[in-house]
Structure 1
Amino acid sequence: MIKCQACGTQNLDTSQFCDECGDALIKYEAPNPPKSDTGTSETVIETPPPENPVFQAASVTSVGVPPVQGKDEEAEAEDDAGDDEANDIDRFKPHGVHANLVIERGQAIGTEFPITSEESNIGRWDADNGVFPDIDLDAHDAEAKVSRKHARILFKNGQYMVEDLGSTNGTFVNRGRRLIPGNPHILSDGDEIIVGKTFLRFQVVK
């Protein structure tokens, strides 16, 4: 039915003029609803946004930022770093000069022999027998009182030691008793070591 806008009379859908007043009738056509991809009409319903949207703050650690350390944790980390640094200082450096043996008597007085490894052998060079000591006293031992494999300087557990290797004329520290072969003797900075008839002074490089 079509309602006349002038008098309000209901007329048939096919009528063009009002049966009561003769006024022209205006047909109202509803807009076509939108079509979906399948070609069929569908009703689109828009959902209004919530009146009070709630936003949840993201955790700082969720984006990869580490949590802030407290003062106690920072102090503990600094202490650990200090301990590591101290251990590095105490740790043996195999490629650096960390001690010396210095000849104290004779024409070669003042001659230094650097100690650069955890084990340094003292003796006389003998190529025929394959003996190549780290500290070669052959040129400073005219009487050949130093054995080819006489003694060795060791560095273990933060301490320096000297050990006799079964030498003929013995090894002595600070004019004491002859060292027993195979028994390392702990050294201190400034100790005197006698191998055969060669007097040496042990010095720690500081």
Structure 2
Amino acid sequence: MQLLPGRLEVIAGMPTDSIRFIKQPGTNQSVTLGRTRGEPGSHIQIPSPTVSRMHVRMSFEGGRWTLENLSETNPVAINGRPATGRGARCVLSDGDRIEMGEVAFFYRQR
């Protein structure tokens, strides 16, 4: 198991304060976030009715995290701007604010 750089600092909607990312041997470097249960290490469950079942996918590519919107009806917002359509992607920068329904995070590179 390998700890990947970056974390999500929870600022609203969840009882935990931070989410870290790990890579398990034989898996790709991506993780989905959403309301449904999923495979530990490759999915983070966010038990909020305002979050879609599969809301976003985060992928670690070229030393950076990218975020992909997976919800057509409830798009993720980055720094207050909603992602436009399913599959919309952006590269995350330190301090970006990520909102999924009533749940909000700051992305931290360290």
**TM-score normalized with structure 2 length:** 0.79
Paired with 1:160 and 1:154, the residues of 2 have a C-alpha distance of 6
Greater share of strand: 2
Deviations along 1:70-97, whole A, 9 cap, x unmatched?
xxxxxxxxxxxxxxxxxxxxxxxx7114
The equivalent residue for 1:56 is none
Aligned position for 2:7: 100
> Is the 1:100–1:203 contact (alpha carbons within 8 Å) kept by the matching residues of 2?
yes
Larger radius of gyration: 1
User: How many residue pairs get matched?
Assistant: 103
Unaligned runs of at least 5 residues, structure 2: 24-28
**Residues 90-129 of structure 1: pairs in structure 2 closer than 5 A:** 95-106=2-13, 108=15, 111-117=17-23, 118-126=29-37
In 2, Cα distance between equivalents of 1:198 and 1:146: 8
What is the distance in 2 between the residues matched to 1:123 and 1:106? 13
Gaps of 5+ in 1: 1-93
Instruction: Find runs of 4+ consecutive structure 1 residues off by over 6 angstroms.
Output: none
- CA distance 1:156–1:106, shift in 2 (3 Å): closer
Within 5 Å, which residues of 2 pair with 1:138-149?
A: 138=47, 141=48, 144-149=49-54
Aligned partner of 1:111: which letter? D
Percent of residue pairs identical: 24
Q: Does the aligned pair in 2 maintain the 1:147–1:167 contact within 8 Å?
A: no
C-alpha contact (below 8 Å) 1:170/1:178 kept by paired residues: yes
Aligned to 2:26: none
CA RMSD, Structure 1 to Structure 2 (Å): 2.1
Q: 1:147 to 1:167 in 2, by over 3 A?
A: farther
Is the 8 Å Cα contact of residues 67 and 89 (structure 2) preserved in structure 1?
yes
Q: CA deviation at 1:150?
A: 0.8
196-205 or 173-182, larger mean C-alpha shift? 173-182
2:98–2:104: 8 Å Cα contact kept in structure 1? yes
| Deviations, residues 10-59 of structure 1 (Å, cap 9, x unaligned) | xxxxxxxxxxxxxxxxxxxxxxxxxxxxxxxxxxxxxxxxxxxxxxxxxx
Residues in 2 aligned to 1:177 and 1:149: alpha-carbon distance in whole angstroms: 16
Relative to the length of structure 1, the TM-score reads: 0.45
* 1:116 Cα offset (Å): 1.8
